[in-house]
């Protein structure tokens, strides 16, 4: 799993404040790459990790994020060629 940097978390907080739809790519426990378009509503700290909460009711663990609104999470820049046609 990747540890997110303070600037990336600040970017997530900015997107939460905007309350606009964003495209999110993330990996599952099975290492599947999924995408969702939703409004991010909050960051939550739980006993098993930090999560981004979506307006749809879904929550995504922060260390599973690959790309949010076209910005790659630290350590996931190598996904760029994979996502070029999907962003």
Name the residue with higher pLDDT: 86 or 44.
Answer: 44
Q: Tell me: domain 6-83, CATH 3.30.160, correct?
A: no
pLDDT tens by residue, 36-75: 999 999 999 999 999 999 999 999 999 999 999 988 888 7
Q: What's the mean pLDDT in 67-87?
A: 71
Quote the tokens at residue 77. 């820049």
How far, in Å, CA of 82 to CA of 7, rounded? 24
Return phi, psi of residue 17, to 5°.
-65, -30
């Amino acid at each position: 799993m990747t540890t997110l940097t303070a600037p990336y978390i600040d970017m997530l907080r900015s997107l939460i404040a905007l309350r606009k739809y964003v495209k999110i790519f993330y990996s599952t426990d099975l290492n599947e790459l999924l995408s969702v378009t939703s409004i991010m509503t909050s960051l939550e700290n739980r006993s098993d990790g930090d999560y981004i909460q979506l307006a749809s009711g879904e929550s995504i663990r922060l260390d599973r994020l690959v790309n949010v609104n076209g910005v790659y999470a630290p350590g996931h820049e190598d996904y760029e060629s994979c996502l070029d046609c999907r962003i």
